[in-house]
Amino acid sequence: MSTIAIKESYVDTLRLFGEVDELLDEAVEQYLIDRVVERIKRARDEAKTFETLYGMDYAAFAERVQLDADYYDQVNQSNPLWEQDMLAWEYWDAEAREWTEKLGDILSKS
């Protein structure tokens, strides 16, 4: 466990509510949950932009452009910069999955 400095006035007030170490753990956990949820929402919002544009989720799009030559040609013709979109989309898709996994880890330990 790490040592951190906390204002003594905060510690005095925390004592009124219970065990300081437990309360601090709960507060840090809630802070982490809130921040991770923000990250998940942002990643999902960014991915949603591409899902709306291409009409499917990332996994379906990636598979389709690789396996369906007609679809590949159609996408390439309608949006010549689709590969840049795909790179950004892949990033945000992975970001959402990674943060969701971190959230699961936090919640499973609480």
- The model carries a pTM of 0.85
CA end-to-end span of the chain: 16
pLDDT digits (tens, 9 = 90+) for 33-86: 999 999 999 999 999 999 999 999 999 999 999 999 999 999 999 999 999 999
Q: How much is the average pLDDT of 97-102?
A: 98
* Integer-rounded Cα radius of gyration of the chain: 22
d(CA 93, CA 48): 9
With cut-offs at 50, 70 and 90, classify the pLDDT of residue 1. low
Domain assignment present for 62: yes
**How many domains would you assign to the chain?**
1
Residue 32's domain spans which residues? 8-109
Tokens representing 48?
């949603």
